[in-house]
Amino acid sequence: MSTTSRAIASTGRVEALSDGVFAVAITLLVLELKVTEQDAEGGLWHALGRLWPSYLAYAVSFAMIGIMWVNHHAIFSRLALVDRSLMYANLALLAVVSFVPFPTAIVADFIRDDRNARAAAMFYGGVGVALGLAFTLMWGHISHHDDLLKPGLTNQGARRQYRQSAMGMCSYFIGIAVASVSPIAALAVYGALGLFFAITSAHEPLDLTLGVSDQAPTAA
């Protein structure tokens, strides 16, 4: 390892802060869900039912943040060390993650408003692009600094993830294009993209993780 020229640290606290931000962002989504007494004048069941766009947005965003967390986990399961650039790239990613409740609320509030539904779905897609960009930056940095990797790992996997993240970012642009025609179809695209990332990453980084686990049983 030729790390002496750069400032590095172990990954523990970066993971702790990240887990905290993911946990808070994913839990704040519920604050969007509200039924006032006025809403319930036509009956509570009716009012609860009328919230379906909020449930849908809750589900999509929970899945989105959850899958991002699994991917974040995949990143750090490869890393032995972080340098300061990676810390700041990680903070940029966390800035986007903690921003997600806002576009979620926008979609929930405006998806039924014919005049604004397109804008809402496009705005949501824009945040998807930002998420893809942040992951692309992180994987790109890692693939160029293999001294951060756990012993025995090469940057081959990181390069593959880098290309996939860049593709993922681009495919959110397709979602935005769809949103300019049909907002509901765009939500379906965003959901499908999440599923795609969940499935492809299932075949990818975890074999490496397993390999690492086998070679060196990791501490908490």
Footprint of a second copy on 141-170 (CB under 8 A): none
| Interface pick for a second copy out of 56, 62, 146, 200 (rule CB under 8 A) | 62
Rounded to a whole number of angstroms, the minimum distance from the CB of residue 81 to a second copy is 8
| Interface pick for a second copy out of 19, 146, 163, 182 (rule CB under 8 A) | 19
| Interface pick for a second copy out of 8, 93, 138, 169 (rule CB under 8 A) | 8
84 binds a second copy (CB under 8 A): yes
Q: Residue 97's closest CA among 127, 122, 77?
A: 127
What sign has the CA pseudo-torsion 138, 141, 143, 149? Answer: negative
d(CA 1, CA 144): 14
d(CA 128, CA 124): 7
Sites for a second copy among residues 90-149 (CB under 8 A): 91, 94-95, 98-99, 101-102, 105-106, 109-110, 113, 115-116, 119-120, 123
Q: Please choose, out of 70-78, 127-135, 150-158, 177-185, the segment that lies near a second copy by the rule CB under 8 A.
A: 70-78
- DSSP-derived 3-state class of residue 68: helix
d(CA 114, CA 136): 34
Residue with tokens 């994987």: 139
Rounded to a whole number of angstroms, the minimum distance from the CB of residue 87 to a second copy is 6
d(CA 214, CA 218): 9
31 binds a second copy (CB under 8 A): yes
- Tally Cβ neighbours within 10 Å of residue 95: 12
Sites for a second copy among residues 181-210 (CB under 8 A): 198, 202-203, 205-207, 209-210
Nearer to a second copy, 14 or 149 (CB): 14
